[in-house]
């Protein structure tokens, strides 16, 4: 329990250890003498006095803790007459001391102490430690002692003028003050004039239009709110806007500030800037500057000199300018900008170094993005996700590991994505871009570009110009776009789109899809089950090995090659060749040529005057509409002329000629005339039902047999006598 102790007049008071409350009350008739002394121990004690008057002395010795002393005067005492002296010079704790309304003498020890004099001509002595001394009203002596000490005028009711070099103050609460061993000044909320000395001072103007002059030494100037004049003087001086609630723009070369606490500021002899927690714009001059962006997405421009640019938190842009600069992006996605360099630069983020142009001698840390110059730059990333902008000139960009974005800009650039899923925009010019490992996206832009996807599922876009693109391993998507492009899918199931121009498209291994697009293109599916579409123009479609699907669109040439292929000519006069395998050939609209090749093929001429040749194999040939020529070739073929006036050749093999309703006026050129053949003619429903009705409608016309259906269709069997025909030559139904 705290003890209660009564002071006896004429004796010093020394409390027992552990006491933390001393009631020094006496009878109102008693008075303290001028020689009375109170000695406090090493605990946090509180003095309460009921009848204090005169000049008494309170002394604290042996204490090591944090001490707070409150002098609470009650009863008939006269506080306005209180003048106290606290001598805590032997203490080591951090102390808070406050005097009375008359001239007090407060002294502390080696802690970081706060001394407040309030009214009267006070003497405040901080001792060792970093102390804050507030004299208040009156002509005060402020002696900071050792350490970094501050004179505090923040509660002053008017502006103050304080000069640390002269050790004097005037105006407001500084009037008559003498300052010794003071390094820092805290101004009022009004227009202050604060001047430093030869040491490193911190001058804080507070609100109001302040004038801060650092003098010699490396000073820190904080103007605060208001249009301030900040003069660093000699040394490497810093203006600090960290406390500003709005972003600032500060230009050391122009000597001006705007926005937030910098609004209306004038800067002279300042080398360094500390920004806010927001998005600041900080600009250096020709000297060696340090620009600290703080939080927010800042724009830091060093100018000339060997500068240090620290972006801090946020996505910052650092432009060191001329000189050997240190660019430290800090956290966030930060950019080193060499766009204004007068010569080419070489920057390596993995090594953290720069050379050439404005990058000469630069060191980089915490930087993820680089903007090159208008010349031939060499930019290299690191293991992270980097963004490299080449700008103008023939640049070399290397992303390294990570998912990088590489933009070559104007010029003939060489770009290597490296490992990771990279996005490459080569830009204008004849560029060479290699995605490397990973699922990459490459865009050539204008110019004749060479794009290589590498390993992974890549997307390659040639852009304008005659481009060359190689998909590499993986299921790739290649688009030539405008220009005469060469696209090679290589390994994997690829999608190739030629776009405009006369393109050469090769699927390579895998099940590829090829769209030739506009122009006269050549598309080769290569090995695998491919789909080829010609689009507009006269295209050449080569299926390659595998069971392929080929679609024309224009006057196209098809060569399906090996495999069981499907060919459709669509519009235009097409040439379709099935090659080996059981193929399906559809001529579509136009006068088409269809060649089945080896295998049992299906050939349909469809619309137009078509020529169909089955070649080897047991083929089915259907002429469709139009005056067609059908030749079965070797094998047991089925030949249907369809509508129109058709010429039919069975050729080698036992062929069957089929006629339905409305077959037109057809001619069989070689029925029964090929040695060893046993051909037949089949009439489907709607023409003849039996041999008798057929023979009744047949006539010998010269060397040919002419058969006329009830509907008026005519079949001419060339070079054959009617008498030679028998039941074995016909099928019905």
Which range is least confidently modeled, 55-59, 98-102, 689-693?
55-59
Query: Is residue 15 included in any domain, yes or no?
Result: no
Alpha-carbon distance of 420 to 402, in angstroms, equals 5
Alpha-carbon distance of 177 to 97, in angstroms, equals 19
Query: Is residue 145 included in any domain, yes or no?
Result: yes
The pLDDT value given to residue 88:
57
How sure is the predictor about 139, in pLDDT bands with cuts at 50, 70 and 90? very high
CA nearest neighbour of 97 among 37, 48, 54, 105: 105
The pLDDT value given to residue 301:
99
Report, as an integer, the average pLDDT of 43-64. Answer: 35
Q: Which of 203, 218, 233 is the last residue before a domain boundary?
A: 218
Report, as an integer, the average pLDDT of 617-634. Answer: 97
pLDDT digits (tens, 9 = 90+) for 671-724: 977 778 899 999 998 889 999 999 999 999 999 999 999 999 999 999 999 999
The pLDDT value given to residue 731:
96
Phi and psi angles of residue 326, each rounded to the nearest 5 degrees, phi first: -105, 115
pLDDT for 69 beyond 50: no
How sure is the predictor about 99, in pLDDT bands with cuts at 50, 70 and 90? confident
Question: Are the C-beta atoms of 203 and 240 separated by less than 8 Å?
Answer: no
- 């005469």: which residue's tokens? 484
The conformation of residue 564, written as its DSSP 8-state character, comes to: S
Report, as an integer, the average pLDDT of 421-442. Answer: 97
pLDDT digits (tens, 9 = 90+) for 288-318: 999 999 999 999 999 999 999 999 999 999 9
Query: Is residue 535 included in any domain, yes or no?
Result: yes
Q: What's the pTM value of the predicted model, to 2 decimals?
A: 0.81
The pLDDT value given to residue 676:
80
Phi and psi angles of residue 696, each rounded to the nearest 5 degrees, phi first: -65, -25
pLDDT for 34 beyond 70: no
Show Cβ contacts of residue 117 under 8 Å, excluding neighbours closer than 6 positions. Answer: 99, 104, 106, 124, 133, 134, 135, 136, 138, 140
Question: Are the C-beta atoms of 402 and 382 separated by less than 8 Å?
Answer: yes
> To the nearest whole number, what is the mean pLDDT of the chain?
89
Query: Is residue 318 included in any domain, yes or no?
Result: no
pLDDT digits (tens, 9 = 90+) for 220-254: 999 999 999 999 999 999 999 999 999 999 999 99
Query: Is residue 201 included in any domain, yes or no?
Result: yes
pLDDT for 357 beyond 60: yes
What secondary structure, in 3-state letters, does 54-115 show? CCCEEEECCCCCCEECCCEECCCCCHHHCCCEEECCCCCCCEEEECCCCCCEEECCCCCCEE
pLDDT for 387 beyond 70: yes
The pLDDT value given to residue 3:
30
> Within 436-595, where are the H helices?
none
How sure is the predictor about 86, in pLDDT bands with cuts at 50, 70 and 90? low
Boundaries of domain holding 33: 21-218
The pLDDT value given to residue 209:
99
pLDDT for 652 beyond 60: yes
Alpha-carbon distance of 302 to 337, in angstroms, equals 11
Report, as an integer, the average pLDDT of 545-561. Answer: 95
pLDDT for 33 beyond 80: no
Per the model's pLDDT, the better-predicted residue between 10 and 106 turns out to be: 106
pLDDT for 28 beyond 60: no
Query: Is residue 55 included in any domain, yes or no?
Result: yes
pLDDT digits (tens, 9 = 90+) for 187-208: 999 999 999 999 999 999 999 9
Contacts 24+ apart (CB under 8 A), 451-460: 451/426, 453/478, 454/417, 456/421, 457/492, 460/487
Q: Which of 218, 235, 264 is the last residue before a domain boundary?
A: 218
CA 471 to chain centre: 25
Contacts 24+ apart (CB under 8 A), 485-490: 487/460, 487/462, 489/526
Query: Is residue 503 included in any domain, yes or no?
Result: yes
Alpha-carbon distance of 412 to 145, in angstroms, equals 67
pLDDT for 75 beyond 70: no
pLDDT for 118 beyond 80: yes
Number of domains in the chain: 2
CA 526 to chain centre: 38
pLDDT for 368 beyond 90: yes
Query: Is residue 401 included in any domain, yes or no?
Result: no
pLDDT for 83 beyond 90: no
Over pLDDT 90: what percentage of the chain? 83
Alpha-carbon distance of 108 to 113, in angstroms, equals 7
pLDDT for 66 beyond 50: no
The pLDDT value given to residue 91:
66
How sure is the predictor about 87, in pLDDT bands with cuts at 50, 70 and 90? low
Hey, is 261 helix, strand or coil? helix
Q: How far, CA to CA in Å, does 460 sit from each of 423, 630, 705?
A: 10, 44, 63
Longest dimension (CA), the chain: 167
Phi and psi angles of residue 282, each rounded to the nearest 5 degrees, phi first: -120, 130
The span from the first CA to the last CA of the chain, in angstroms, equals: 125
pLDDT digits (tens, 9 = 90+) for 469-522: 999 999 999 999 999 999 999 999 999 999 999 999 999 999 999 999 999 999
Q: Which of 180, 196, 218 is the last residue before a domain boundary?
A: 218
């Amino acid at each position: 329990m705290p003890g209660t102790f009564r002071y006896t007049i004429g004796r010093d008071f020394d409390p027992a250890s552990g006491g933390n409350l001393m009631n020094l009350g006496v009878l109102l008739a008693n008075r303290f003498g001028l020689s009375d002394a109170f000695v406090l121990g090493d605990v946090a004690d509180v003095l309460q006095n009921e009848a204090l008057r005169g000049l008494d002395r309170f002394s604290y010795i042996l204490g090591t803790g944090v001490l707070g002393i409150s002098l609470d005067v009650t009863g008939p005492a006269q506080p306005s007459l209180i003048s106290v002296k606290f001598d805590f010079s032997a203490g080591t704790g951090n102390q808070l001391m406050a005097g009375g309304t008359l001239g007090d003498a407060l002294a502390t020890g080696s802690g970081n102490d706060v001394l407040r004099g309030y009214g009267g001509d006070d003497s405040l002595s901080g001792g060792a430690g970093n102390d804050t001394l507030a004299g208040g009203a009156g002509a005060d002596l402020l002696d900071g002692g050792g350490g970094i000490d501050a004179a505090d005028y923040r509660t002053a009711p008017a502006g103050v003028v304080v000069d640390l070099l002269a050790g004097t103050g005037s105006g407001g609460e500084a009037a008559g003050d003498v300052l010794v061993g003071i390094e820092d000044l805290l101004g009022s909320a009004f227009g202050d004039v604060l001047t430093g000395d030869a040491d490193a001072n911190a001058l804080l103007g507070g609100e109001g239009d302040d004038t801060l002059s650092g003098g010699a030494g490396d000073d820190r100037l904080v103007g605060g709110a208001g249009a301030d004049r900040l003069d660093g003087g000699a040394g490497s001086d810093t203006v600090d806007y960290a406390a500003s609630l709005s972003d600032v723009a500060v230009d050391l070369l122009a000597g001006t500030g705007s926005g937030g606490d910098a609004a209306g500021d004038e800067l002279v002899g300042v080398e360094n800037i500390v920004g806010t927690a927001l998005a600041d714009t900080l600009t250096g001059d020709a000297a060696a500057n340090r620009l600290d962006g703080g939080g927010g997405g800042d724009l830091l421009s060093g100018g000339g000199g060997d500068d240090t640019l620290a972006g801090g938190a946020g996505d910052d842009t650092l432009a060191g300018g001329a000189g050997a600069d240190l660019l430290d992006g800090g956290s966030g996605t930060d950019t080193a900008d060499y766009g204004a360099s007068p010569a080419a630069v070489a920057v390596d983020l993995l090594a953290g170094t720069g050379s050439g142009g404005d990058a000469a001698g630069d060191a980089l840390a915490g930087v993820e993005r680089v903007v090159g110059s208008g010349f031939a730059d060499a930019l290299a990333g690191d293991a992270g996700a980097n963004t490299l902008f080449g700008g103008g000139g023939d640049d070399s960009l290397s992303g390294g590991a990570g998912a990088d974005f590489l933009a070559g800009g104007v010029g003939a650039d060489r770009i290597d994505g490296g490992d990771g899923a990279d996005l490459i925009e080569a830009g204008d010019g004849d560029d060479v871009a290699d995605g490397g490992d990973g699922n990459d996206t490459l865009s050539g832009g204008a110019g004749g570009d060479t794009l290589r996807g590498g390993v992974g599922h890549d997307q390659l876009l040639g852009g304008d110009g005659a481009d060359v693109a190689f998909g590499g391993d993986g299921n790739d998507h290649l688009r030539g776009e405008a220009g005469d492009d060469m696209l090679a899918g290589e390994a994997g199931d690829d999608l190739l789109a030629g776009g405009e121009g006369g393109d050469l498209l090769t699927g390579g291994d895998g099940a590829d899809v090829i769209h030739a697009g506009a122009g006269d293109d050549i598309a080769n599916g290569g090995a695998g089950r491919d789909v080829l579409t010609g689009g507009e123009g006269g295209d050449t479609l080569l299926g390659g090995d595998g069971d392929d699907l080929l679609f024309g669109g224009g006057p196209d040439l098809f060569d399906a090659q090996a495999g069981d292929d499907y060919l459709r000519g669509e519009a235009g006069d097409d040439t379709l060749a099935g090659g080996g395998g059981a193929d399906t050939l559809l001529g579509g609209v136009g006068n088409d040529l269809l060649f089945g090749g080896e295998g049992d093929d299906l050939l349909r001429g469809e619309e137009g005057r078509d020529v169909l040749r089955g070649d080897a194999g047991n083929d089915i040939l259907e002429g469709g509409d139009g005056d067609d020529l059908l030749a079965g070739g070797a094998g047991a073929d089925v030949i249907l002329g369809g509508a129109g006036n058709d010429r039919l050749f069975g050729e080698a093999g036992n062929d069957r000629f089929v006629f339905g309703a409305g077959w037109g006026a057809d001619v069989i050129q070689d029925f029964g005339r090929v040695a060893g053949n046993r051909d037949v003619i089949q009439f489907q429903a709607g023409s003849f039902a039996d041999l008798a009705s057929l023979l009744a409608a047949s006539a010998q016309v010269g060397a040919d047999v002419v058969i006329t259906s009830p509907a008026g269709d005519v079949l001419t069997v060339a070079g054959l006598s009617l008498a030679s025909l028998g039941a074995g030559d016909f099928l019905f139904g």
